[in-house]
A and B are shown apart, each in its own frame.
Chain A
Amino acid sequence: MSEETETRLIVVAPDSEITPDHVTRFIHALELPITVKETCYGAIIEGKRELVRKALQEVRKLDPNRICSKIRGFPMGDMRRCRAHHGSRPGFPQLEKEWELLPLIAEGLRSAERGEKIEEPERKVKLPVKELKKIVEEVSQ
């Protein structure tokens, strides 16, 4: 496989109305010479880099803030990383967890689009030992 080839995950946020089936059909309809496979989180596409990027650019338009993407190291259907042959792929639980987080990211993107001011939320700090000691004395009395 040449270096010009790219494999990409198209991941649709769980709260998006767009379904993996929709994404797959949409990419097919672009009639680009790339391979498309529907997955539980969206789709996986593979082909010449510029064509894959073009498909990504188009598919993002369906729901810009809720369709995300990253590349994949292994080619599509590679036996070395096939779930049936090698059990769950080690990176899969991570994808599952990041997928769950996408609605929050979409919210962040919308907020950034609106140009909202970034406010640093207050981070909790550990209670100073002196104060804890005081409380211990109070409570134990």
Chain B
Amino acid sequence: MKIFIDPPNSLILYDLVERFGHEPLSTMGALREKVNTLEMDSPPLNITHEDVQKGLKYAGIEVPSGIRGRLAVFGPLVDEAEAAIIMEDPPYAFGCVGCHRTTLMLKYLIRKRNIPLLEVKYPTSEDEARTMVGKIKEFLEGLS
């Protein structure tokens, strides 16, 4: 199944989803298409004015352009997802998820989808890590 992960560029979540036999939907995957579109010339990410306008599907014109640009790329991943894992409280979240407001919105959009969803907290100890990995494994193996 296609699993949306949040943070959407997390190495750990990406690895675990693949490890337990599913397809992660990540920002790296979404951007791959963008950066490989050779006919466009808006480096580094090839996000264009039109992309930012497409973001209007998820947020109104009064929302900053950086948020709409992000949602234009990541929103479709939420639409496409068949299940999702959200990891709360990560101490890191850079690059694609550099805007906190976008992160909040993405999480909200995924919760609204009513698809199987697992919410875990970023671990701070071995015990918590065991619980987190165990829960993720159980969740992913339980998806048909």
Contacts and interface: CB of A to CB of B under 8 A. Distances in A.
Direct A/B contact, Cβ within 8 angstroms:
yes
Interface of A: 1, 3, 7, 9, 11, 68-75, 78, 80-81, 86, 89-99, 101-102, 104-105, 107-109, 111-112, 116, 118-121, 123
B32 interface: yes
A90 B127 CA distance: 30
B95 A91 contact: yes
Interface stretch (B56-64, B104-112, B134-142): B134-142
A9 B92 CA distance: 18
Contacts of B32: 7, 71, 73-74
Name the prevailing secondary structure of the B interface residues: helix
B29 A73 contact: yes
B35 A80 contact: yes
A78 B128 CA distance: 38
A68 B133 CA distance: 14
Contacts of A75: 35-36
A42 to B, nearest CB: 11
Given A73-B35, A93-B94, A118-B138, A107 B12 contact: no
Most buried by B among A9, A74, A86, A116: A74
Given A90-B96, A94-B95, A112-B130, 15 more contacts: A69-B15, A70-B14, A71-B32, A74-B35, A74-B44, A91-B94, A93-B94, A104-B126, A104-B129, A108-B130, A109-B19, A112-B137, A118-B131, A118-B135, A118-B138
A119 B94 CA distance: 31
Nearest to A113: B137
B11 A107 contact: no
A98 B11 contact: yes
A114 to B, nearest CB: 10
A89 B31 CA distance: 14
Contacts of B29: 71, 73
B117 interface: no
A79 to B, nearest CB: 8
A136 B15 CA distance: 48
A47 to B, nearest CB: 14
Contact of B96 (A78, A91, A102, A104): A91
